[in-house]
Amino acid sequence: MSDATLRHDWGQEEIEDLLALPFNDLMFRAQTVHRAHFDPNRIQVSSLLSIKTGACSEDCGYCSQSAKHGTELEREKLLPLDEVKRAAAEAKAKGATRFCMGAAWRNPTDKNLERVIEMIVAVRDLGMQTCVTLGMLTPSQAARLKEAGLDYYNHNLDTSPEFYGNVITTRTYQDRLDTLARVREQGISVCSGGILGMGESRRDRASMLRELANLPRHPESVPVNLLVQVEGTPLFGTDELDPFEFVRTIAVTRILMPRSHVRLSAGRGGMNEQMQALCFMAGANSIFYGERLLTTDNPEADRDRELFQRLGLAFEESAELQATERECASKRQRRLAEEFGAGGGA
Ligand code: SAM
Ligand code: DTB
Ligand code: SF4
């Protein structure tokens, strides 16, 4: 991510202009960038587990786990270590390379953090990459996670700074940026993205992407979630987003953050296969894999494997493989530049 060709000075207007391109032109640009940096037929797969569910003190308007909303969610205390190990081993057996553990906390206490660290160590021992999403972190908590060997921390900006107050009031945008900076400072890989379809405007989508792309370093992983509407949450009943607008936003995410994994995240369960294929064409190269997200359903793993087979997609594997792929990608970029006169880099 220290590549000097990556930009961190994107302007609001130019991002909106990208979002407004004719669909085919936008897809072509996104594909060109994608192929310059990745094998377009390989997808990174992460499995998710909710390690502490519900009764959260925050008021995120989309979330089934807030104690402030009238959702019918069964609460669960922090899971025992054995249960986490079992779930991670199952995810690994199905082909997931990263295991992401989520807790419904505003922030972890130091005591709880130690229990999560035991989980991180156990999952690493299985040979999987680890990711956790635990809410806000202090600098010393971020340091402790690094010491424990954590690979990724997920903390989403969720939306634009302008729209943010319509969705969450119990923590600020700046709180989120501060946590991301603490994670980055420790050298933990950053996973940060947002949610579309919460009633935000295209301007807001552009503004959220500008915030992400203009961070001092691009997040290594950018989850783009489509709102999963949960009955009882304030955002239940929000007008559905035009599916093409979702694909456009994926494409622009790819163009702005060429080396990041762009994850087609929550909401995939409500998408048909054609829509998912368009998202992969637009540059999404990561998914959540396995029947369950945190509290809502995801497509069955068998169905995903079948879809991958039909599309000629394969699971992304080791870091070594990725390095080889980057070499191939730069060769492909040169070839594309010769054929189309397109540079491909952003
Ligand atoms: N409590 C921690 C926090 O908020 O940082 C971690 C877990 S939280 C569930 C992680 C992210 O999941 C949220 O920031 C949001 O982007 C996403 N998310 C939660 N509920 C969602 C929903 N109904 N639809 C789409 N994305 C959702
Ligand atoms: C992210 O961006 N999406 C994931 C993960 N990070 C933790 C969570 C999606 C949650 C979807 C709603 C649910 O299952 O509760
Ligand atoms: Fe709590 Fe996280 Fe849900 Fe917000 S998104 S209510 S912080 S679990």
pLDDT of res. 346 = 38
On the 0-12 / 13-18 / 19+ scale of CB atoms within 10 A, 33 is: buried
Q: How far is the CA of 274 from the centre of ligand 2 (A)?
A: 22
User: Any idea what the Cα angle at residue 304 is, between residues 300 and 306, rounded to 5°?
Assistant: 115
Q: What Å distances lie between residue 132 and 30, 105, 150, 153, 269, CA to CA?
A: 29, 12, 8, 5, 22
First to last CA, the chain: 13
Say if CB 249 and CB 280 are below 8 A apart: no
Alpha-carbon gap, residue 273 to 309, rounded angstroms:
12
Mean pLDDT of 161-174: 97
pLDDT at 343: 46
Q: Please tell me the residue having the least CA distance from ligand 1 atom 3.
A: 135
The chain-wide mean pLDDT, for the chain, equals 91
Burial class (CB in 10 A: 0-12, 13-18, 19+), 240: exposed
What does the pLDDT look like over 223-248, one tens digit per residue?
999 999 999 999 999 999 999 999 99
Which ligand sits closest to the CA of 195?
A: 1
220, 39, 283, 228 alpha-carbon torsion, rounded to 10°: -70
- Kindly state the average pLDDT of the residues 35-64: 93
For residue 293, the SS3 value is coil
Q: What is the pLDDT of residue 344?
A: 42
3-state class of 102 per DSSP?
strand
Q: Using pLDDT thresholds of 50, 70 and 90, give the confidence band for residue 99.
A: very high
Q: Is the pTM of this model over 0.85?
A: yes
Closest CA to 198 of 154, 170, 169, 165: 165
Sequence-separated (6 or more) residues with CB below 8 Å from residue 338: none
Q: Which residues contact 110 (CB under 8 A, 6 or more apart)?
A: 141
Residue 63 known to be catalytic: yes
CA of 39 to the centre of ligand 1 (A): 29
* pLDDT at residue 319, as a whole number: 47
- CA pair distance 73, 230, nearest whole angstrom: 10
Per-residue pLDDT at 167 exceeds 60: yes
- CA-closest residue to ligand 2 atom 7: 102
> Is 328 marked active-site?
no
Other residues' Cβ atoms within 10 Å of the Cβ of residue 7: 16
Q: Does 7 have pLDDT greater than 80?
A: yes
Pairing of strands 221-226, 194-196: parallel
User: What are the pocket residues of ligand 2 if the criterion is a CB atom closer than 6 Å to any ligand atom?
Assistant: 48, 64, 102, 133, 154, 156, 193, 223, 225, 228, 265-266, 293-296
Residue 161: how many other CB atoms lie within 10 Å: 17
- The percent of residues above 70 in pLDDT, for the chain, comes to 91
Write the single-letter amino acid at 29.
Answer: R
C-alpha pair distances (Å), 162 with each of 56, 103, 114: 24, 27, 36
Q: Which of 4-13, 67-76, 178-187 has the lowest mean pLDDT?
A: 67-76
Other Cβ atoms within 10 Å of 92 Cβ, number: 17
Q: Phi/psi of residue 179, each to 5°?
A: -60, -45
Residue 45 in this model has a pLDDT that exceeds 80: yes
Q: How many CB atoms lie within 10 A of CB 72?
A: 8
**Maximum separation of any 2 CA atoms in the chain, in Å:** 58
194-196 vs 261-264, strand pairing mode: unpaired
Is 60 a known active-site residue?
A: yes
The larger pLDDT score, comparing residue 322 to residue 274, is at 274
Q: Within 6 Å (CB) of ligand 1, which residues are found?
A: 62-63, 102, 104-105, 133, 135, 155-156, 158, 195, 225, 227-228, 230, 266, 294
pLDDT score for 326:
53
Q: Taking 80 as the threshold, does the pLDDT of residue 313 lie above it?
A: yes
How far is the C-alpha of 346 from the C-alpha of 338, rounded, in Å? 17
Looking at 29, 35, 63, 171, which residue is catalytic?
63
Q: Residue 327 above 80 pLDDT?
A: no
CA distance 264 to 280: 8
Tokens of 271: 């998408």
pLDDT for the residue 316: 86
Which domains, ranges and CATH numbers included, belong to the chain?
26-340 (3.20.20.70)
User: 314-315 and 42-52 as β-strands: parallel, antiparallel, unpaired?
Assistant: parallel
Helices (H), 148-284: 173-185, 202-213, 243-256, 273-281
